[in-house]
Amino acid sequence: MLEQGRWWMVVVIAGGVLWLAGCAPAAPAPAPAAAVPSSPPQTLSPSVTAAVQRSAVPAATATPLPPSPTASPSPTFEICSPLDGIPLAALPEMIVNPFAPPPPGSDDPHQGVDFADVDPVYQIALEGRVVRAAMAGTVAGVMRDRFPYGNAVLVETPLSRLPASWLEILQIPPVIPLREGQSALTCPESAGESVDLAGSRSVYLLYAHLKSLAAPDLGEAVTCGMPLGEIGQTGNALNPHLHLEMRVGPADVRLERMAHYTSDASLDEMANYCLWRVSGAFQVLDPSLLLVPDG
């Protein structure tokens, strides 16, 4: 009996040393009869090429906290590659026309980033790769073969959904008043009449020059990684590419259609285009700041 007692003491001490060191014992004791099996590891959906997850909440807590009615954004924030089969880390190699911010009121030079799917042998841009939503949100506009964006879809994501760390990465600018008479672009007087700059704000992503559209209708939800269309060269595009444009502006704005520079563009289409591009209500951001891999 004495020898058995001494052996038990040695096991307790060794187990304590292993616990303090933060590792598991080489020969674990049998699990209790009522033990609960651990959950299997989660895997990303195959439709999502890449995702970024940021969390300020511990992975596990003793007692789940109820949601706050004025809560900050979700602890999990996903960024998906806008090009099917292309990881976020490889996107910079596919940029053929980088972001070039315009001066105030100007419609030039290049207010987004262009990604091309180039054939490695013949060095020509290809059509057809699926374009996916980089962030979850709501469809705020759908353009069908309208100049200059061609087939395009606009998706809104409220700033309240973005973690603070990503708001810093995007360098969200302060609100500025609407510009009047400072644009070189001819705009209808109705541009910006019903926009409220004093309310909440959202990030808007525009996917343009699509060969085809697979997006939901105006006002419907979009999930991260959802197919929106295919790379094409509709509108003002000389070669197949995805034109990705990002702006921050007043929340819940619906720019159902936008068009300009053609005689068949309606006053409403031109007013929406001017509101989006040159009014100052929607301030342009560099999409490259968003499309970065975690770590």
Q: Name the residue range of residue 163's domain.
A: 88-97+108-176+198-289
Counting the structural domains of the chain, the total is: 1
DSSP annotation string for 120-188? TTT--B-S-PEEE-SS-EEEEEEEEEETTTEEEEEEEEEGGGS-HHHHHHHTPPPP-PPP-S--SS---
Q: What is the dihedral of CA 7, 13, 17, 23, to 10 degrees?
A: 50
Does a structural domain hold residue 183?
no
**What does the mean pLDDT of the chain come to?**
77
Most trustworthy range by pLDDT among 59-63, 182-186, 245-249: 245-249
* pLDDT computed for residue 117 by the predictor: 93
Residue 127 domain-assigned (yes or no)? yes
What is the pTM assigned to this prediction? 0.73
Query: Domain holding 207: CATH number?
Result: 2.70.70.10
Q: Is residue 102 part of a domain?
A: no
Query: Does residue 188 form part of some domain?
Result: no
Which of 26-35, 227-236, 253-262 comes out lowest in average pLDDT? 26-35
pLDDT given for residue 71 in this prediction: 33
Residue 158 — pLDDT band, cuts 50, 70, 90? very high
Each residue of 19-73: pLDDT tens digit? Answer: 333 333 334 444 444 443 444 433 333 333 333 333 333 333 333 333 323 333 4
Asked if residue 44 is part of any domain, the answer here is no
